[in-house]
Amino acid sequence: MKPLWWQRGIVYQVYPRSFIDSNGDGVGDLPGILSRLDYLRELGVDALWLSPIYPSPMKDFGYDVADYTAVDPLFGTLADFDRLVEAAHARGLKLILDFVPNHTSDQHPWFKESRASRHNPKRDWYLWRDQPNNWLSNFGGSAWTFDEGSGQYYYHAFLPEQPDLNWRNPEVVQAMLGVLRFWLERGVDGFRVDVLWHLVKDEHFGDNPPNPDWREGMDPYQALIPELSSDREEVHDIVRRMRALLDEYDERVLIGEIYLPLERLVKYYGVDLQGAHLPFNFQLLSAPWDAAHLAGLIAEYERLLPAGAWPNWVLGNHDRPRIASRVGPAQARVAAMLLLTLRGTPTLYYGDELGMQNVPIPPDEVQDPFERRVPGLGLGRDPIRTPMQWSAAPHAGFTRGKPWLRVSPDYETRNVAAQRADPRSMLTLQKKLIALRQAEPSLQIGNFQILETKGDVLAYVRNKTFLMALNLRSRPQRLSLPRDGAVVLSTHLDRTQERVGNMLDLRPDEGLIVRLAHGD
């Protein structure tokens, strides 16, 4: 079967607040994004996924939605959105929206009604109990908040301002499927579904068991194993219904945000692949950076994928430390080569194509509610959400006003304009990797085979055609090759057309793509 766009293609995540501000209020917006679609074309990606743009009190920066079928004035208007979809499509780009079904804002009219009284028809749209159980909020503390007015507790997996919807209530299901339809009709090409594995909870609200591996100083949420509050069997029926709705339209994609061990993650492809097209695979966000671990998790993922399921890989997002900070700038180039040569749809996080780093945010500038509620453990997400670095102009060319979050101090040298002009820059490397993947079906959809992985080198072959050899350390390495070939690309961007025999020499922190000579 001919591969679909979301199988061949590359997804690019835009965090709208931080991408580009067109009106000088210090917050990125939709007209800004529209003005940078040509940049995304230049980069060579296929789809952009926008973190939430809906009206919101912004307690969790848009992941607290007060109206699912409108655009927050901070980002623009519905007309701006329509223009963006049209302009994206005119350039052959797909547009994916963030869908946040697990919880609303406490300012959503549904919750206002629900909390108005115990007898309100929308009472059961949320989760109300006379007594809390031991479930914890992902953002610290109990997941239950007492509502004085109506005398019960409501459940919130995140902030108290983000009450969880009751997905066991058919009216909620109907209303939320209606939201998907609204955006599908407006032409969006798919959804990234926020915390998909959280939607359904144990109907008896049993306590979660303690996590024996939890220690003081770890994320307090991990003190319990959230087996009764998430990843319940019934969620798969909901996913199937979302998918069935998308299937009424042409080639739309359903992506799920799911942080689970691989064997449970792959269940979200659904029975007979009728679930999510792409349950996000976050393994690379936390994998120890060594060849044995990486080879092991790639092999495990490939082994666990249901027959016919399409893989995917994520290297960064708005919740997790930036790759360039996690593995260092030199290895970030190797990581880019890994992401863009693995089998499966890659998702890039804005700014990672420049090697942007985590930016330390002084305590008095902290914005993220997670950091405010659980300070000092390094869990805060502001450092990875700083403004995109476009140029050496003030505020990195992001805004003519005051940016909502400080700009990285390295912006004068690390920016799009400077890297565009530098033939050895990270941006140049990313463009070359993307262009190569786009030009070579072997890299887009070809099969994957790991070569024996020794020491610090991770080596694999796609479609018997391309061999990737990634040196994960800063000392030279040597690898024997199954056949001779020619270097197509080095992460150092200085080695092409070089013939290689049965030995391949890798310099420190070098990744190579070799086109193998024909053979078996």
Which DSSP state fits 464?
T
Say if residues 55 and 70 touch (Cβ distance below 8 Å): yes
Closer residue to ligand GLC, CB minimum distance, 194 or 440: 194
CB of 195 to ligand GLC, least distance (A): 5
- Residue 112's SS3 state is helix
Closer residue to ligand GLC, CB minimum distance, 96 or 514: 96
Say if residues 287 and 297 touch (Cβ distance below 8 Å): yes
CA 62 to chain centre: 15
End-to-end CA distance of the chain: 24
Rounded Cα distance, 349 and 285, in Å? 12
Per-residue x/- track, 246-265, ligand GLC (CB under 6 A): -----------x--------
Residue-wise DSSP of 416-443 = HHHHHT-TTSHHHHHHHHHHHHHH-HHH
Rounded Cα distance, 261 and 284, in Å? 12
Contacts of residue 71, defined as CB under 8 A and 6 or more positions apart, other chains included, come to: 30, 53, 54, 55, 77, 78, 80, 81
CB of 471 to ligand GLC, least distance (A): 32
Rounded Cα distance, 441 and 2, in Å? 11
Contacts of residue 361, defined as CB under 8 A and 6 or more positions apart, other chains included, come to: 367, 371, 380, 382, 383, 405, 406
By CB under 6 A, the residues from 328 to 387 that bind ligand GLC are none
Closer residue to ligand GLC, CB minimum distance, 63 or 313: 63
Closer residue to ligand GLC, CB minimum distance, 29 or 194: 194
- Residue 70's SS3 state is coil
If one asks whether residue 319 binds ligand GLC (CB under 6 A), the answer comes out as yes
Rounded Cα distance, 383 and 220, in Å? 20
- Closest residue to bound ligand GLC by CB: 63
If one asks whether residue 158 binds ligand GLC (CB under 6 A), the answer comes out as yes
CB of 71 to ligand GLC, least distance (A): 18
Closer residue to ligand GLC, CB minimum distance, 80 or 194: 194
Sheet of 144-147: strands edge to edge?
Answer: 128-129, 152-155, 144-147
Say if residues 61 and 17 touch (Cβ distance below 8 Å): yes
Contacts of residue 439, defined as CB under 8 A and 6 or more positions apart, other chains included, come to: none
336 membership: H or E segment, kind and range: helix 329-341
Closer residue to ligand GLC, CB minimum distance, 46 or 194: 194
Rounded Cα distance, 336 and 350, in Å? 13
Active site (annotated) includes residue 194? yes
Task: Return the structure tokens found at 229.
Answer: 């509050």
Closer residue to ligand GLC, CB minimum distance, 282 or 411: 282
* Exposure b/e, 251-289, CB count within 10 A at least 16 = b: ebbbbbbbbbeeeebbbbbbeeeebbbbbbbbbbbeeeb
By CB under 6 A, the residues from 192 to 221 that bind ligand GLC are 194-195
By CB under 6 A, the residues from 87 to 146 that bind ligand GLC are 100
CB of 158 to ligand GLC, least distance (A): 4
Number of residues this chain uses to bind ligand GLC (CB under 6 A): 9
The active-site residue, picked from 98, 194, 382, 510, is 194
CB of 444 to ligand GLC, least distance (A): 27
Residue 431 — left, alpha, or beta (φ > 0 → left; ψ -120 to 50 → alpha)? alpha
Closer residue to ligand GLC, CB minimum distance, 221 or 390: 221
Per-residue x/- track, 430-449, ligand GLC (CB under 6 A): --------------------
The active-site residue, picked from 130, 148, 185, 248, is 248
CB of 319 to ligand GLC, least distance (A): 5
If one asks whether residue 21 binds ligand GLC (CB under 6 A), the answer comes out as no
CB of 310 to ligand GLC, least distance (A): 22
CB of 184 to ligand GLC, least distance (A): 22
CB of 430 to ligand GLC, least distance (A): 23
CB of 52 to ligand GLC, least distance (A): 8
Pairing assessment for the beta strands 345-349 and 511-516 based on DSSP bridges: unpaired
Task: Return the structure tokens found at 187.
Answer: 């032409």
Closer residue to ligand GLC, CB minimum distance, 158 or 269: 158
Which DSSP state fits 262?
H
Closer residue to ligand GLC, CB minimum distance, 318 or 322: 318
What is the binding site for ligand GLC (CB under 6 A)?
Answer: 60, 63, 100, 158, 194-195, 257, 318-319
Q: Would you name the residues annotated as active-site residues?
A: 194, 248
